[in-house]
Amino acid sequence: MNTQFLLIQVFNGLVNGAFYALLSLGLAVIFGMLRIVNFMHGALYMLGAFVAFALGQILGLGFWPSLVLAPLLVALLGMALERTLLSRLYGLEPSYNLLLTFGLTLLTQDLVKQVMLSQYAVSSAPYTTPTVLTGVVNLGFVVFPKYRLFVIALALVVCLVTWFVIEKTRVGAIVRASTENPVVTRSLGIDVGKWVTGVFGVGVGLAGLAGVLAAPIYSVEPYMGAELIITTFAVVVIGGMGSILGSIVTGFAVGVLAAVGAAVYPPMANTLVFVLMAVVLLVRPTGLFGLPEGAR
């Protein structure tokens, strides 16, 4: 096991890290603003990939239009769900949200499964990589698929833009204010409810985007989000619930950690993240980047 090989794996880990970062960022945004633990996030990620697949089948749309359209459609669906269902539970304890979003997950998975089986007679469908991004590129230290490089780059850009908007702009200030103290914010003439719905849309849109990005790498199948979401929750816990920057940094870091772990000792690959989560919970219960509730 030489250093160059480990370096290659560190680099490779950024790809999975990109997915973790996009997903945990969405979760963090939603939790930070709405105090909802969105268990449905994995299903919405899957839905992003499935919508891209369906857009290709029905309208003949390729990867690029789907990359924009599918996250938008997922965001719209998310907003509709927030308005019609989630908003009814805001006064109640968090476990109701958990049950609702978990139920919606099962429903979405089975619906997609039925549609795929009945309409396309497949249980998992391949999705073609866009032509410009097929093939590999020699980076000197490793021969790497072009598409995976694109995933890392795009995820980085999207994460940074999201972070910038929330932390550094007026829009972000309104959103943050709506969550810190909705009553005062409302008294300043800001429609908090509308912002909440929008923020939820952005959060699930990010999941949809991750799904479209995943489609050319992994097959599109109803349960593709089920596994990923568990690791993503671990990422969120490690980074600190609701911390925007924390979720991005931790997302990429966990991806790298898992890849290096898998290279060194494969059976460890899937457990490493949870070991880290347990350690973080013991040493720093609010997460690496999280602040205690009182200090917010």
Count of other CB atoms within 10 angstroms of residue 273 = 23
- In angstroms, give the least distance from the CB of 49 to other proteins: 12
Closer residue to other proteins in complex, CB, 95/124: 124
Is 247 a binding residue for other proteins by CB under 8 A? The answer is no
Partners of 145 in beta bridges: 136
Count of other CB atoms within 10 angstroms of residue 199 = 21
What's the one-letter identity of residue 186? Answer: R
Q: What is the DSSP string of 246-274?
A: HHHHHHHHHHHHHHHHHHH-GGGTTTHHH
Closer residue to other proteins in complex, CB, 178/231: 231
Is 259 a binding residue for other proteins by CB under 8 A? The answer is yes
Strands 143-145 and 136-138 turn out to be antiparallel
127 contact partners, CB below 8 Å, separation of at least 6: 49, 52, 53, 56, 63, 215, 216, 219, 220
**Alpha-carbon gap, residue 236 to 247, rounded angstroms:** 6
Size of site (CB under 8 A) for other proteins: 37
Is 148 a binding residue for other proteins by CB under 8 A? The answer is yes
**Alpha-carbon gap, residue 63 to 147, rounded angstroms:** 12
Q: What is the DSSP string of 88-111?
A: GGTTS-HHHHHHHHHHHHHHHHHH
Indicate which single residue of 57, 123, 169, 181 sits in contact with other proteins (rule: CB under 8 A): 123
Is 152 a binding residue for other proteins by CB under 8 A? The answer is no
Closer residue to other proteins in complex, CB, 24/197: 24
Is 150 a binding residue for other proteins by CB under 8 A? The answer is no
The stretch among 58-66, 120-128, 153-161, 201-209 that binds other proteins (CB under 8 A) is 120-128
Indicate which single residue of 103, 126, 169, 173 sits in contact with other proteins (rule: CB under 8 A): 126
Partners of 175 in beta bridges: none
In the three-class reduction of DSSP (H, G, I as helix; E, B as strand; rest coil), residue 61 is classed as coil
Indicate which single residue of 115, 227, 275, 278 sits in contact with other proteins (rule: CB under 8 A): 227
Closer residue to other proteins in complex, CB, 98/263: 263
Indicate which single residue of 91, 266, 292, 294 sits in contact with other proteins (rule: CB under 8 A): 266
The stretch among 61-69, 128-136, 161-169, 170-178 that binds other proteins (CB under 8 A) is 128-136
Is 94 a binding residue for other proteins by CB under 8 A? The answer is no
**Alpha-carbon gap, residue 198 to 113, rounded angstroms:** 29
Is 15 a binding residue for other proteins by CB under 8 A? The answer is yes
In the three-class reduction of DSSP (H, G, I as helix; E, B as strand; rest coil), residue 38 is classed as coil
Closer residue to other proteins in complex, CB, 37/152: 152
Spatial CA neighbour of 18 closest among 245, 200, 249, 230: 249
What's the one-letter identity of residue 222? Answer: P
Indicate which single residue of 156, 176, 182, 270 sits in contact with other proteins (rule: CB under 8 A): 270
Is 16 a binding residue for other proteins by CB under 8 A? The answer is yes
Chain residues that interact with other proteins, rule: CB under 8 A = 4-5, 8-9, 12, 15-16, 113, 117, 121-126, 129, 135-136, 142-145, 147-148, 217-219, 221, 224, 227, 259, 262-263, 266-267, 269-270
